Amino acid sequence: MNLKYGKEDEAFREEVRAFLRDKLPHDVARRTKTGMHPPNEDDRRWWNRVLFEKGWSAPLWPKEYGGPGWTHLQAHIFEYECRMAGAPELRWQGLRLIGPVLYTFGTPEQKARYLPAILKGDEMWAQGFSEPGAGSDLASLKTSAVLDGDHYVINGQKLWTTEGHYSEQGFFLVRTDNTGKSQRGISMIVFPMDTPGVTVRQIPMINGEGSTCEVFLDNVRVPRENLIGAVNAGWDQAKFLLSNERTSSAEIYKAFSDLARIRHIAEHELKNGRPIIQDPVFARKLAELEIDVNALEWSVLRVLCEAPSNYPIAANASVLKVRGSELQQRLTELAVEALGQRSLRMYRRDEAYAPPAVNPLWPDYTPGVATDLLYLRACTIFGGAKEVQKNIIAKLAFGL
Amino acid sequence: MDFNLSDEQRMLVDGAQRYIRERYSLDAKRAAAKTEEGFSREHWEKFAELGWLAMGIPEDCGGMGGSPVDIALLMEQLGAGLVAEPVLDTAILAGTLLAQASGSQRAIDLLGDIAAGEKIVVLAHMERAGRSEYDTPVSARAKRSGEGWQLSGIKHRVWHGASADCLLITVRLGETNEIGVLAVDRNAPGVDLTVYEMLDGTHAADIRFDAVELDSSALILRGPAVDDALAVAFDHTVLAMTSSAIGSMDAVMAMTGEYLKTRVQYGQPLAKFQALQHRMSEMFVETDQARSIVYRALAALESGDAQERATAVSSAKSLVARACRFVTGHGIQLHGAIGTTEEYAVGHHYRAMLMYDYRFGDATYHLERSAGLLPRIA
């Protein structure tokens, strides 16, 4: 075994750092680090374009579709450095979710039409999977797609469509067959969000913002060539897509940047006249979290480096999701604790993104700390609830 | 020992429950939260009529002289209903503090006004260097000015500051540097407010006092008595707030249990899944223990011993903060995505939990205080 990064990996890390120093302006990094949800959309589109011009916008895509040809370990280094520097996180929906589905299952026409715009960040994608009554239990979804000549006519409602209100394209799971096993009658289809019959409504969330939406589909007519792969093959495509999501769902990069944020706050907030980071109780909590984050990082590294395991890899991916999401919540809780009562102020996006006025009562690290905590109540629910992940582990690892 | 409610207490609880059920829907609360004050004056007047604002105020000052148990029972119902009006800040916190300024006619007048719902009075105590009300160092100053005082300084996070008619301000006095409490008209010249919203919809303010001139009657408390009075006021407020958190936990369990019975996933109601049944059981255990530690603290309050009171109140706060975090957090989790929306009450209870946790000392502070690890600072 060799448990070290190689010389070429360290050189690569330096290359990424130099690029970030050169290209990432302070104000963009500052806005990103507030932790507001969703992140600043203009910053994110702009950064996507910057990365595209460098050939770095899709770290894990194969070279033939525009990826940089990195190893998994290099992509890991890249993501880590970007997050620590405060680079905007690119939207998953296109780059990590539908992109791989398109180049794996799509027709040559679909690849040519959609992939370049995803790479450049010209088109953002919305995910239409969940429904009222079909959250983690996707097989019970009801939105129907009925063939009418050369078009599918789609009717139904989708829920929890993150940032649907400004996405150009959407990928949807729809029911194309009502007979037989419910998983076997599902297909994946894509269409622009401004197609007639599509209505998007933002849902106000407990963090005070509406980053997620409900989408109403009322006799939406979509050309049949927009179906991805074969009819009724949507379940396998969705499983493929979700397995990609669950590998990234450890959110290890955010965990590290959260630790840095907690440290920063705790070095500046006083308790009994001393920085709270010197308080033994607080220091112990921070130490416990650091240990847990380090353990999670090595779990990610084991998956990335295809370490041998006695269990199916999907069980390990579910561990990343369970522990990663729990840690996200604990980290934001400790950030709020470090900030103390001042964290109780409600910040809106405009206020948080505005250049900071020098005000010793409300330091620059205040906005977004509680917002992040409130938003992340959802992280043990979205992408397959924690309880469902535990069922998956029990089934895959132990055959229960 | 007898944990049964008296007839009067039963009426109090039933009345509060009925009011919350019939008049205090989440929609009404959300509408009130969007107003300039973040709460409804209409409810406030009703609360006064119902005697809720007079509950904790001594009878000889125009109040009802209710016991800490009476207050706990009322606050529990208000917590279940996520009541936004400043009952805690005015009737409990300011009321308890003023009740200890017995030599001051101004204090007696203010107590009568609070009991009648005629004035909103809040404490302006926090400063930049303090993490909580218990340990904030006071640096606002009042120097002698003729027969009266001239006040300068900045107070931080004054809950309902802009709605208040009167502010009770902790200060350092003149040459001696002893601590004092001044009653200041919020509209007095030189009082400048910056208002903002808190996570639960409460409106708070940072307040700057710039050479505010006050007559001698403004000083309602001074000297070592202030530390004791503040400690008593904070402990009573923490216990009232803790009772409110118990109500919140009960409400979360009730709505979550109902939801699990109606929501169908994988072909059956969620309530059929053993993992979720166990989670509900864990929430029940936490809430039950939380209620018990509140009883213990109420008993300690009756003992009249300051050290016993402080230890018991802090034990309750640290345990209930942890339990409430667990229960409201899992309340959201068991609702699934819908629980994370602004539209559903469970997320509002989670936000109320955060307010509970961080006001008047967080769980860590109270753990250390209950363990006797802290120097005694009011």
Residues from chain B that touch A371, judged by Cβ atoms under 8 A, are none
Beta strand segments in A251-400, E: 270-271, 274-275
Q: Give the helix/strand (H/E) hosting B268.
A: strand B268-269
Segment B234-247, tens digit of pLDDT: 999 999 999 999 99
**pLDDT given for residue B90 in this prediction:** 98
- Chain A partners of B362 at a C-beta cutoff of 8 Å? 337, 340
Q: Does B227 touch chain A (CB under 8 A)?
A: no
Residue of A333, A346, A382 with shortest CB distance to B337: A382
Tell which residue, A381, A400, A391, has the closest CA to residue A159. A381
Nearest to B346 by CA among B335, B359, B358: B335
Cα distance from A308 to chain B (closest Cα, Å)?
31
A382 at interface of B, judged by CB pairs closer than 8 A: yes
Q: How far is A223 from chain B (nearest CA, A)?
A: 32
Q: Kindly report, residue by residue over B133-163, the tens digit of the pLDDT.
A: 999 999 999 999 999 999 999 999 999 999 9
What are A298-344's pLDDT values in tens digits? Answer: 888 888 888 877 788 778 788 888 889 999 999 999 999 999 999 99
Provide the mean pLDDT of chain B. Answer: 93
Determine contact: B341 vs chain A, CB below 8 A: yes
pLDDT tens readout for residues A137-159: 889 999 999 999 999 999 999 99
Task: Name the residue in chain B with its Cα closest to that of A273.
Answer: B129
- Tokens (6 digits) for B334: 């068991």
d(CA A242, CA A261) in angstroms, rounded, equals 30
Q: Which two tokens stand for residue B244?
A: 């409110």
Contact B336 A336 (CB under 8 A): no
Interface A–B counts its CB contacts (< 8 A) at 119
* Among the partner residues B128, B267, B337, nearest to A160 by beta-carbon distance: B337
Burial class (CB in 10 A: 0-12, 13-18, 19+), B24: buried
- Per mean pLDDT, which range of A96-110, A360-374, B314-328, B364-378 is the poorest? B364-378
Structure tokens at B290: 């939380």
Interface of B with A in 228-267 (CB under 8 A): 264-267
| Domains of chain A and CATH, by start | 7-90 (no CATH), 125-232 (2.40.110.10), 250-398 (1.20.140.10)
Q: How confident is the model at residue B378 (pLDDT cuts 50, 70, 90)?
A: very low
Which chain B residues touch A136 with a CB distance below 8 Å?
265, 336
pLDDT at residue A245, as a whole number: 64
* Residue of B173, B172, B191, B169 whose CA lies nearest to B181: B169
B20 vs B43: CA distance, rounded Å: 11
CATH superfamily assigned to domain B123-222 = Butyryl-CoA Dehydrogenase, subunit A, domain 2 (2.40.110.10)
**Mean pLDDT rounded to a whole number for chain A:** 92
Burial class from Cβ neighbours inside 10 Å (0-12, 13-18, 19+) for residue A18 reads: exposed
- Residue B334 CA to residue A231 CA, distance in Å, equals 34
Q: Do B354 and A370 touch (CB under 8 A)?
A: yes
The alpha carbon of A105 is separated from its chain's Cα centroid by a whole number of angstroms, namely: 22
In angstroms, rounded to a whole number, what is the distance separating the alpha carbons of residues B35 and B60? Answer: 36
- The segment with the largest mean pLDDT, out of A162-166, A387-391, A392-396, is A162-166
Nearest CA in chain B to A203: B341
Tell me which chain A residues have a C-beta less than 8 angstroms from the C-beta of B198: 344-346
Rounded CA-CA distance A226/A339 in Å is 49
ipTM: 0.74
* Contact A137/B at CB under 8 A: yes
Residue among B83, B148, B155, B161 nearest B121 (CA) = B161
pLDDT-derived band at B96, boundaries 50, 70, 90? very high
Higher pLDDT, B296 or B329: B329
Q: Which of B156, B204, B342 is opposite residue A205, by nearest beta carbon?
A: B342
Cβ of A387 within 8 Å of Cβ of B275? The answer is yes
**Torsion sign across C-alpha atoms A185, A186, A189, A193:** positive
Selected residues 300-329 of chain B with any CB under 8 Å from a CB in chain A:
325, 329
Question: Cβ contact (<8 Å) for A377 and B340?
Answer: yes
CB contact under 8 A, B336 and A135: yes
Instruction: Say if CB B43 and CB B104 are below 8 A apart.
Output: no
Choice between B18 and B275, residue whose per-residue pLDDT is larger: B18
Q: What is the dihedral of CA A175, A178, A181, A182, to 10 degrees?
A: 40
> Which pLDDT band, with edges at 50, 70 and 90, does A389 fall under?
confident
Give the separation between CA B241 and CA B78, rounded to whole angstroms: 10
CB-CB under 8 Å, B341 with A203: yes
Q: What is the pLDDT of residues A54-65, one digit of tens each?
A: 999 999 999 999
Confirm or reject contact between A385 and chain B (CB < 8 A): yes
Q: Residue ranges per domain, chain B? A: 7-119, 123-222, 225-371
Decide if pLDDT at B274 tops 80. yes
pLDDT above 90 covers what percent of chain B? 80
- Read off the DSSP letter of residue B3: -
Omega cis (within 30) before A355: no
- Asked whether the beta carbons of residue A377 and residue B206 sit closer than 8 angstroms, the reply is no
Q: Is A27 on the interface with B (CB under 8 A)?
A: no
Nearest CA in chain B to A341: B358
Position A1 pLDDT exceeds 80 = no
Is the minimum CB–CB distance between A141 and chain B shorter than 8 Å? no
- Radius of gyration of chain B from Cα atoms? 21
Q: Comparing A384 with B143, which gets the higher pLDDT? A: B143
CA distance B207 to A197: 52
pLDDT tens profile A171-229: 999 999 999 888 899 999 999 999 999 999 999 999 888 789 999 999 999 999 999 99
Q: Evaluate whether B138 touches B125 at the Cβ level (below 8 Å).
A: yes
Tens of pLDDT along A253-288? 999 999 999 999 999 999 888 999 999 889 889 988
Position A136 scores a pLDDT of 82
For residues B223 and B173, what is the distance between their CA atoms, to the nearest angstrom? 9
Share in percent of chain B as helix, strand, coil (round to 5): 55, 15, 25
Which residue of B lies nearest to A202 if distances are taken between CA atoms?
Answer: B341
What is the structure's pLDDT at A137? 87
Taking a contact as any Cβ pair under 8 Å apart, which residues of chain B between 199 and 218 contact chain A? 199-201, 204, 206
User: Chain A contact for B102, CB < 8 A?
Assistant: no
Q: Does B25 touch chain A (CB under 8 A)?
A: no
Q: How far is B6 from chain A (nearest CA, A)?
A: 38
**Cβ-defined contact of A281 to B367 (cutoff 8 Å):** yes
Residue A85 at interface with chain B, using a CB cutoff of 8 Å: no
The percentage of residues in chain A with a pLDDT greater than 90, rounded to a whole number, is 70
H helical segments located in chain A:
7-23, 26-33, 41-54, 72-85, 92, 99-105, 108-120, 234-248, 252-268, 280-304, 313-339, 349-353, 369-375, 386-398
Judged against a pLDDT cut of 80, whether residue B1 lies above it is answered with no
Mention the CATH class of domain B225-371: mainly alpha
Q: How confident is the model at residue B374 (pLDDT cuts 50, 70, 90)?
A: confident
Q: How far is B112 from chain A, CA to nearest CA, in Å? A: 31
pLDDT in tens, B181-234: 999 999 999 999 999 999 999 999 999 999 999 999 999 999 999 999 999 999
Whether A389 contacts chain B with CB within 8 A: no
- For B115-127, what is each residue's pLDDT tens digit? 999 999 999 999 9
Q: Which residue of B has its CA nearest to A382?
A: B337
Going by pLDDT thresholds of 50, 70 and 90, the confidence category of residue A244 is confident
| CATH architecture for segment(s) B7-119 | Orthogonal Bundle (1.10)
pLDDT at site A156: 97
Cβ within 8 Å of A, B 115-134? 126, 128-129, 131-132
Whether A270 sits inside 8 A of B129 (CB atoms) is yes
Q: What is the rounded distance in angstroms from the CA atom of residue B309 to the CA atom of residue A284?
A: 28
Window from A4-8, B160-164, B318-322 with minimum mean pLDDT = A4-8
B358 has a chain A CB within 8 A of its CB: yes
Q: What confidence tens digit (pLDDT) does each residue in A312-325 have?
A: 877 878 888 888 99
Shortest Cα distance from A78 to chain B (angstroms)? 32
